[in-house]
Each structure stands twice: as C-alpha cells, then as structure tokens.
Structure 1
C-alpha cells in the first residue's frame, strides 16, 4: 500500500462526514442558502490567497525545474480558473463576486491558512504536499460523489461547480492524483518520523476542510469580532 493510500484510508471517516455536511448536501440538492454561499465565497477567496503563497514556497524548496514548473502552473490555475466555481455560486445567489473579495478572515480560515503556511515556512516538501492535498482531493471526491448520485445535472443550479470539481484535471490524471503521485515520490526517501509528521499534517488539513464547510454554513465569526478583524 502506498503512503497516499494509507492517508486516504485514515481520512475516510472525515470524507464521509464531509459528504453528509449540510453545506455539501445543499450543493447536491440545489438548496444551499444565500447567506451560506456569500460567507463561503468570501472566505474561500481569502483562503486561496494563502494557497497561492504556499505554492510559491514550494517553488523555493523545489530541486528540479519540472517541480518549479508544476507549482507555477498551479499558481496560475488558482488565480484564474478557480473563480469558475465561485462565479457559479454567486450567479445562483445573485451576488457580485467582486464585492466579496474584501473582508476579514473568520477563525477557521485564519487557522487553516496558518497551518498551511507553517508547512511552507518550516516543513519539507513532503509536509507542504501533505498540507496542500486535502483541499483539491476532498473537492474532487465531493464532485465525483454528487455526479455519481445525480443521474442528470441538466438544469441543476450548481452544475458548473459540481462538474468543475468532479473532473478537476486532465483526462489522463486529475490534479489530486498528480499531487498524490508526487507525495509518494517524496515519501520513498523519508524516515518513519517524517512520515508520521506528514500524516498528522494531512489529517489536520482534512479536518480543517470539514471545519471550513461548518464555518461557512453557520457563518462562524469571532466571538468578540468588533475587536478582532484579521486580514
């Protein structure tokens, strides 16, 4: 069993909870409330800013031009293609994407950003990949899950979002599969302690993915938010 297979097996309970989360179910059945959409899009835009930064950190720790080129492509994808999914949500909720790009980080978004950026700052390439992968992997799995459960997406309000993440890559290999392949390459030369640490990083990111849906559905905020606004 590969290292990535072990990680996916351990994260399966979290993935199952994500499938059943009311936010994800709301996407599946097309009933997601407008306020949840608004909160999610704003926070996801802010979260992805950190995603771009950790790709940049990965470039500084890359030892081959092939790796550098791969992460550079992901920066471009995140900055320019990820908005397709955001636009679909905004269209359904009659919101302006441009107006949702400014705001303060909610607690879970802040925690998730710090977790990822810590791997980029202090971790190895194995840690960086372990921290990054749960986001594209769980979204890919959500997209596939909904597509498998929905005979036809014709007329579905969130069709673009579902298909965007359900395919999420080329016909030969999805983005998540490519990241897992790279993770397994780095794992081959890692010590047991390094693998254990990477596993903890991966599972923490998986739980933070679940928390992101939770935060968005219930519009989590700082308890004393008039005093705390993190940008």
Structure 2
C-alpha cells in the first residue's frame, strides 16, 4: 500500500487512497503489529468485533435475498454459513483466551462505532443492489487481508510468542482468509468492470464511507484504552 493496480477494484482504492491508508495503517494496526497495543484496547475491539460478526452474518443473509441467480445465492449462503457455523465459534474461543466469556459477549451493548458501520453496510444493501452491498463490505474482507500482508512486510512487526497479537496477524495472513479475500476481489472486478461513470462515482462514495467507518472501529479500541 498504496495500491497501484489498474483493476476496477484498484480504481476504488486509488480514488479513496487517503481514507484507505488511514484505515490500513491506523495507529491501532501499527501498535498491534509491534506488539505494544494496550491489551484493553484489543479486548474492547474483540468484544465489539463479536457484535460486528452478528451483523456481518445478517449482511450475507441480505446478500442471499438480493441474489439474482443460483451462483450469487450459493455465494451468499456459503458466506453466511461460514460466519455462523465456523467463524463465530472461532471468535468465541479466541475471546475466551483473552478472558472474555461467551456469556459476556451475549450481554454486550453495542458501541456507537459498531452501530455506525454495521448499519451503514445493511443500509447500503437495502437501498442498493448486490454490488452496493459487496462494496460496503469490501473494506472488512479485503481490507483485513491487505492489513495482514502489510504488517507482515513491515520491519517493526514482531512475529512469534513475544507478540500477544501474533495469532491475529497469522489468521488474516493465512491462506484460507487470503483466498477468500482474493475471491471477493475477483468478484468485484468482474462486477465493477464496465460500470458507467455515474454508477462508479456512487460506488466510490460507498467504499469511501465504509472505509472511514472501519477506521473509526480501530480508533474505538484506542479510545477505550485511553479512558482507563
């Protein structure tokens, strides 16, 4: 990062480059990579990320509803099942390692930043079509993959047991998540190709706003730690 590819999705990133870099290279991300992020900042992020996953699943349920053919329907259903049947369980287990119980997760109030991004994604899907929804979700799925790759390449990043956040980096840098992000990038490139300038401008706006809200999600963790 910055991105220089000339694919249709690369165009979205280039037209939102300040927001994309502010998100992908946020202080929360840098401190996580260096292993110096305050633990309570990460714990607050983990709690709210559980709630985010709940709404992320709802968004993929909406993608099923918005599907126009069997291929799109299967894609949305597979993503929904992956979150509900696999990712939620993994997240709950990871939270337990950080002293956060499943009962605590079930009783959490939503932070304003969580509500802002998740409701924005759902609203984008409701008022638009499947492409609008995918563009609003892209900063999460593709962004996390890019962030993990960026951290892996940085000299300040600490890997191994000396970094308490190494497992987080490894998960998003791993082949399974990277493959999912690449598949989403390919899907977006196919759908974004040939869009009119007017339609693309609207999608750029959606992507920019979603990216800004993702950056706020990082800042939420730092702010929570500062209040202690």
TM-score by length of 2: 0.84
Give 1:82 shift.
Answer: 5.3
Aligned alpha-carbon RMSD (Å): 2.4
Partner of 2:164: 157
Quote the Cα distance in structure 2 between the aligned partners of 1:187 and 1:16.
22
Retained in 2: the 8 A contact 1:84–1:161?
Answer: no
Give 1:137 shift.
Answer: 1.4
Label 1:56 to 1:13 Cα distance change in 2 as closer, same or farther (>3 A): same
1:4 maps onto 2:3 in alignment: no
Q: Residue 154 of structure 1 aligns to a residue in which SS?
A: coil
1:38 maps onto 2:43 in alignment: yes
Quote the Cα distance in structure 2 between the aligned partners of 1:168 and 1:24.
20
Give 1:69 shift.
Answer: 1.3
Instruction: Give 5+ residue unaligned stretches, structure 2.
Output: 1-5
The within-5 A match list for 1:99-178 is: 99-149=104-154, 153-155=159-161, 156-167=163-174, 169=176, 174-178=179-183
Comparing both structures, which one devotes a greater share of its residues to helix?
2
Retained in 2: the 8 A contact 1:168–1:174?
Answer: yes
Give 1:70 shift.
Answer: 1.4
Cα deviation, 1:3-32, whole Å, max 9, x if unaligned, reads 201012223333332344332123112222
Give 1:134 shift.
Answer: 0.7
Corresponding pairs, count: 217
Runs of 4+ residues over 6 Å off in structure 1: none
Residue 74 (structure 1) aligned to one of 70, 75, 79: 79
Q: Work out which structure has the larger RCO, using CA pairs closer than 8 Å and 6 or more positions apart in sequence.
A: 2
Quote the Cα distance in structure 1 between the aligned partners of 2:174 and 2:210.
22
Quote the Cα distance in structure 2 between the aligned partners of 1:98 and 1:146.
32
Retained in 2: the 8 A contact 1:58–1:125?
Answer: yes
Label 1:164 to 1:85 Cα distance change in 2 as closer, same or farther (>3 A): farther
Q: Residue 169 of structure 1 aligns to a residue in which SS?
A: helix
